[in-house]
Amino acid sequence: MNLRELLARTELGLSVIAGEPASLAREVRRGYITDLPDPSRFVEAGDVVLSSGLWTARPGGAERFVHALSSRSVTALVLGTLEIGVVPSEVIELCRAQDVPLLTIAGGVSFREVADAVAAAQPDSPLRQASEGARFRQRLSEVLAGGGGMEALLRLAADTLQAPCWVVDDRGKAVAGEAPAEARGALWNRTVVDGFDRHEAELDGVVRTGLRIGDDPAAGMLGVDTAVPAGDDAIAIEIETLRAALRVELELGRRWRRARIEHTSELVRQVRGHEASPGVISAHLRLNGLDPQAATVAIAARADDPRFPLDAIAAIVEDEAVRAGHRVLAAHVDGAALLLVNGDVPESWAASLTELSGDDVSARLAGRVLTLGAADAIQGVSRLGSAIQTALARLESAQASEGAAVVVATAVHVRSHRELLRLLGDGARRGFAQEVLEPVIEYDRRHGAELLPTLRAFLDGDGAWQETARALHLHTNTLRYRMARIKELTGKDVAKLGERVDLFLALSCLDEQEPPAAL
């Protein structure tokens, strides 16, 4: 601030006695209170010296004091009259001669008030920072008290930072404000995914700053279309206050979403463990806006970067499903995002997800590969467990194509007998395994004959008699006896290719059951 601005503060009661008009433009950096006869060692340019004038009573005191101020190029002298009564004419003349502006102060105002006002006006002053921080918090409180939401907070942020502002949540989805997809994705990846508190980059010819909201995990990011100074303590205080308010807004949405995901994840666990009845499953779907009688497609998804949030993966697929008019429930299963897409879902819809290559998706993925495993559509809920298992299995077996950002494995991508068997569903696999192998399992249970492990070793050894017997530490005749007993019990002869395949597939179906002894 300058001397003219200080004089404009009417509450300080300052007035000019002597001084050229040009001197009012002098910079004011500090208010220094003193009555030392010679304060030259303690004052400097930019100081407004405040004194009660006790030095005027000493011989030559006025000349010595004013000369000390002049030699140090102070900005002005403020002389109080409570002690000396009136301003001596000698002081006035000395100040005029030595170009030291002379001011007086109202009787009801203390020197400390003036000094504090000067300090608070300095850019790096703690007083100013505290004052501005208090004013900002007051404005913020008024916005929130008035029912203002995210957009109102952003207007306050834009006013403070003098630049457009926007917010994305922890999934990388735009929540408020506008910014190009590339800028949103780049800054979100650095702050939320990589964990930086702030990141600044030139994007689309504009220097933009991303400011992380929340700790670990982050609740989202505040984007600013300018470079936000890192060393300005006053701005830092306001940004922290703003980020705290935005975090509250973002956390409300995230907690609701997380509760829904956790509830659905528990349901999926029960479905996979055959612990949830069709009635319980149907009730959960209805409570979340899904139709249990409509077609449902289970989709498991994962990115090739384990740091990439599962919620962000789910959001990418969910957005596409909602655009197509479907309803979605999300869960976390085995380190993957699982989505139940419900409604009038065409058979070809899941395969079309390979086209998820818009600017927003590409910016969020930032070069990562998103892999999806999609089960066939089911009607009702009785085969939901099988559909979930199929989606997870196809996710594991999916093979990325070179250059592809999104890879989808569906029924047309079956590459093994196990994937083929999973298309049958739990009931069909369980029934086939029971029909073929239950006599063997029951015989083993009663006699401890270990026929089932013998059959498994024989098939795993490609039907080589001597190698299998050696691996089982059996005589070849003992192995042949056991295989003959298996033939008697099952009616399947391992010497015939088709019947050997039946036994092999029955064992594969048995491997899918939890636990195998359930038969």
**Could you tell me the pTM of the whole model?**
0.59
DSSP string for residues in 343-373 = ES--TTTGGGGGG---HHHHHHHTT--EEEE
Min mean pLDDT across 286-300, 315-329, 342-356 is at 342-356
CA distance 379 to 294: 6
pLDDT, tens digit, for every residue of 1-13?
899 999 999 999 9
Measure Cα distances from 46 to 39, 69, 184 in Å: 15, 11, 45
Half-sphere exposure of 28 (CA within 13 A, CB side): 27
- Does the CA dihedral 423-425-430-432 come out positive or negative? negative
pLDDT, tens digit, for every residue of 61-97?
999 999 999 999 999 999 999 889 999 999 999 999 9
Q: Are 313 and 361 in contact (CB under 8 A)?
A: no
pLDDT for the residue numbered 91: 95
Segment (H or E) for 209 = strand 206-213
CA distance 181 to 170: 15
User: What's the mean per-residue pLDDT of the chain?
Assistant: 86
CA distance 450 to 443: 9
